[in-house]
Amino acid sequence: MSLIRVHDKTFEPYLTAGQIASAIQSLADQLNLDYAGKKPLFIAVLNGSFMFASDLFKKLTIESEICFIKLASYKGTKSSGHVITVIGLDIDLIHRHLVIIEDIVDTGKTLDQFLPQLQYQQPASLKICALLHKPEATVHPIKIDYLGFTIPNKFVVGYGLDYDGLGRNIPEIYRLTE
Ligand code: IMP
């Protein structure tokens, strides 16, 4: 693997497709054990998590469901700041075992705003499964129950993650050189 250009920036190889695949297998092994008989509902957060969710879901051998949602962020009133609305969540969550599938937890702001909306619907349990976590970028601490990789605070692209719309199709993960 060598350097790539996306828009105006240069990225270097960081995680290979093989490393990603084996991390996903380990996550799936754990989920298969923890959720056997619980018929969990996986909630994948679009757009970034589509590739991760697809590969992870293929490795699950237990009875489980998946749905895909989008979070739309808009400026609310001055007092409420950014408000997040959930698009596409049309399944009853009460008494369900929920697992959120995220591509990356960066500042934690997205999940910090989104999780209370799920808790409100009284699920039986609520856990987070993320492929990547940048602990140095944390503003809102989030407990990640199932994690692929802890990474430094550098912008990454590939495997579903984009830089201004591009790079999602790259099968590996690259990181910004500068
Ligand atoms: P948070 O709310 O700051 O945790 O940001 C979460 C979202 O920001 C992720 O779901 C990504 O869509 C996006 N994001 C954060 N860091 C990166 C990155 O390094 N590359 C691409 N997207 C990122």
Interval 76-93: pLDDT, tens = 555 555 667 888 898 999
Is 55's C-beta closer than 6 angstroms to any atom of ligand 1?
Answer: no
State in Å: Cα 178 to ligand 1 middle.
18
Using CA atoms of 122, 123, 126, 131 in order, give the dihedral in degrees to the nearest 10.
Answer: -120
Catalytic residues: 106
What is the pTM assigned to this prediction? 0.95
Q: Going by CA atoms, what residue is nearest to atom 15 of ligand 1?
A: 106
User: pLDDT exceeding 70 applies to what percent of the chain?
Assistant: 93
Interval 118-127: pLDDT, tens = 999 999 999 9
Contact 51, 159 (CB under 8 A): yes
In what order do the strands lie in the sheet containing 9-15?
Answer: 4-6, 9-15, 173-176, 156-157
Ligand 1 pocket test target in 114, 161, 175 with most atoms within 8 Å of CB: 161
Separation CA 111–CA 70 (nearest Å): 12
Q: What is the residue whose two structure tokens read 């093989």?
A: 18
Interval 105-119: pLDDT, tens = 999 999 998 999 999
Q: What's the DSSP call for residue 166?
A: B
Tokens of 106: 């960066």
Q: How many CB atoms lie within 10 A of CB 158?
A: 25
